[in-house]
Amino acid sequence: MIKLKQILSEILNTYSVEGYILSDRKENVSDINAQIRALEKVTIVDNITPEDYPQKENIEYTKIKIKFITHTNDPKQDIENFRKEILTSDEGNVRIAGVRSVKFNLDSLKRI
């Protein structure tokens, strides 16, 4: 019965949000997405960047869609925590190598 409750809880508390990452071209976008996927509560990271989106010489623009499970009633707080975890580690350095900036579009936040 506990498994059923856990499954139902995950179904009811699954959200998605879109965001934008600016990163160094030296770093592989797939590696960055894999490291985001490794964050606690994140289940899926999809690269949804349009193919025709103009890129700069040294900076990669990536549009992502993240699916995550929240155990609180405040998914916006989880999103803010994701942003902080992507950008800084405990030592104050960039946690995910190559990421210069990350922003989430809270208007795209929805329960799945």
DSSP designation for 54: -
Percent of the chain scoring above 70 in pLDDT: 86
pTM of the model: 0.84
Give the residue with greater pLDDT, 62 vs 8. Answer: 62
Q: Is the dihedral of CA 9, 71, 21, 98 positive or negative?
A: negative
CATH class of 2-111: alpha beta
* Band (107; pLDDT cuts 50, 70, 90): very high
Is the CB of residue 61 less than 8 Å from the CB of residue 49?
A: yes
Q: What is the pLDDT of residues 40-73, one digit of tens each?
A: 999 999 999 998 888 888 999 999 999 999 877 7
The confidence score (pLDDT) of residue 9 equals 64
The confidence score (pLDDT) of residue 7 equals 63
The confidence score (pLDDT) of residue 112 equals 87
Break the chain into its structural domains and give their ranges: 2-111
Asked if residue 6 has pLDDT above 90, the reply is: no
The confidence score (pLDDT) of residue 88 equals 84
Asked if residue 103 has pLDDT above 90, the reply is: yes
